[in-house]
Amino acid sequence: MSDKKSILILGGGLDQVFMIRTAAEMGIKSIVLDKNPHCPGSKLADHFEPISTRNVAAICKFVDSYQEKNEKIDGVSTMGSDIPHIVAKVANHLNVPSIPIKAALLATNKYKMKQRFKKFGVSTPAFSLVRKPSDVKMFMNKFGAPVVIKPLSEAGSRGVFLLTNEKNVDLNFQKSLRYSDDSTILVEKFINGPQISTESIIINNDIYTPGYADRNYENLEKFLPQIMENGGWVPSQHENIKEQVEQEISKAASAIGLKTGVIKGDIVIGKNGPVVIEIAARLSGGDFSESLVPISSGINYVKSVLELSLGKKPNPNQLRAKNKKVVANRYFFVNGGVLKKIEGLEKLKGKTWLEKFEIWREIGSKLPHLSSHGNRTGVFVVSGKSRKLVQSRVDWIYKNIKFLTE
């Protein structure tokens, strides 16, 4: 029996690859589950099984069989997948560290979460549970437009719509309802202001927030009534209120019963300070923890999350920034059609400031309609000494890379 620690990672897709690689760097054995036998993580894991990360019974059956071979599983984790309740249930089965199941369930139900926010004095927009379009219209009459409607348990902007008047309430209500598990959705008052994404590590109620980025919603009107984020910036231009933001995140975490764990926060800076839109008891996927923060600040806080999952207290010094390079990530949005060609790729050669460039669709493939973040075509990450310089590099990429479809 090996002394090497083992971590069960739920998910082997692109969003989990960085965690699998980080575990390898730390000398931790990765056991990865994903229903897709050809997922990227299947080739990186020390052990892989094609099991759905939503099937608790199947996961528990697998871990029991695995441990019967005298190979102990020391922890459970994930990133980029909104399944903290699955992680918590499996961890409870294994008797390894995790957040409480109740806290995890609250974090995956936006209405129950916001009820707790209201009870514990967390600053959050006015909200209501609605079952029919007329309920949304009544809410708009009471609180004014615009409002946001969203499913209770989805992520990645699926089923999220910004409604500026009553004109399209009926149509978009039905679209949002498609993602609902129980014929209800959430409506909340839209708060206008700069938005911040946060990722915090909470250790016995002490909060550390290495992930603190400005969300980028330029050209938002292009996608309306859908709300589509186009990447973000680090460092944030709102570092001056970071302490206030952390206070609200701490209150939000306490409200759902989380004392130690990970909190991803969606924050708006309103007229009276930070407002918590929602939180998630997990790391985000994509570029936030993989590219933006490590490149900008030298921090790989996924290491700290893995340590927490294994029952080890992270060193707070590992969560403090070492440098402050400006970094931005942006996405390619190509709405439908068959991808025939990508022009300009040869121009990327030698661009040392281009930290990452990925195309997620194959030539000849049919591109999906842009209905959520999962339908984006690709991503790039650029860096530089100033926002002005980085913005010019973002503009250069968009100008020179062209997607031809038919």
Q: Each residue of 373-383: pLDDT tens digit?
A: 677 889 999 99
188-214 burial, b at 16+ Cβ within 10 Å, e below that, comes to bbbbeeebbbbbbbbbeeebbbbbbbb
Q: Express as a percent the part of the chain with pLDDT over 70.
A: 97
pLDDT at 203: 94
- What CATH number does the domain containing 400 carry? 3.30.470.20
Token pair of 401, please?
Answer: 């890379």
Q: Does pLDDT of 116 surpass 60? A: yes
How far is Cα 133 from Cα 166, in angstroms, rounded to an integer? Answer: 9
pLDDT at 229: 82
Higher pLDDT, 3 or 163: 163
Q: How many domains does the chain have?
A: 4
Q: Does pLDDT of 260 surpass 80? A: yes
Least confident of 167-181, 197-211, 259-273: 167-181
Q: With beta carbons less than 8 A apart as the criterion, state whether 276 and 248 touch.
A: yes
What value, to the nearest 5°, has the Cα angle with vertex 278 and ends 275 and 284?
120
Does residue 68 sit in the same domain as residue 132?
A: no
Which residue type is seen at 133? P
The domain boundary, picked from 291, 324, 357, lies at 324
Does residue 49 sit in the same domain as residue 141?
A: no
Q: Each residue of 57-83: pLDDT tens digit?
A: 999 999 999 999 878 999 999 998 889
Residue 58 placed within a domain? yes
Does residue 244 sit in the same domain as residue 301?
A: yes
Q: Does pLDDT of 1 surpass 60? A: no
What does the H/E/C string look like for the chain? CCCCCEEEEECCCHHHHHHHHHHHHCCCEEEEECCCCCCCHHHHCCEEECCCCCCHHHHHHHHHHHHHCCCCCCEEECECCCCHHHHHHHHHHHCCCCCCHHHHHHHCCHHHHHHHHHHCCCCCCCEEEECCHHHHHHHHHHHCCCEEEECCCCCCCCCCEEECCCCCHHHHHHHHHCCCCCCCEEEEECCCCCEEEEEEEEECCEEEEEEEEEECCCCHHHCCCECCCCCEEECCCCHHHHHHHHHHHHHHHHHHCCCCEEEEEEEEEECCEEEEEEEECCECCCCHHHHHHHHHHCCCCHHHHHHHHCCCCCCHHHHCCCCCCEEEEEEECCCCCEEEEEECHHHHCCCCCEEEEEECCCCCCECCCCCCHHHCCEEEEEEECCHHHHHHHHHHHHHHCEEEEC
Domain with 223 in it:
192-324
Closest C-alpha to 24, from 44, 1, 10 = 44
Residue 109 placed within a domain? no
233-254 burial, b at 16+ Cβ within 10 Å, e below that, comes to bbbbebeebeeebbbbbbebbb
Does residue 177 sit in the same domain as residue 257?
A: no
Does residue 350 sit in the same domain as residue 390?
A: yes
- What CATH number does the domain containing 59 carry? 3.40.50.20
Closest C-alpha to 280, from 136, 119, 104 = 104
The domain boundary, picked from 324, 341, 357, lies at 324
Residue 63 placed within a domain? yes
The domain boundary, picked from 81, 98, 115, lies at 98
Residue 162 placed within a domain? yes
Q: What is the mean pLDDT of the chain?
A: 93
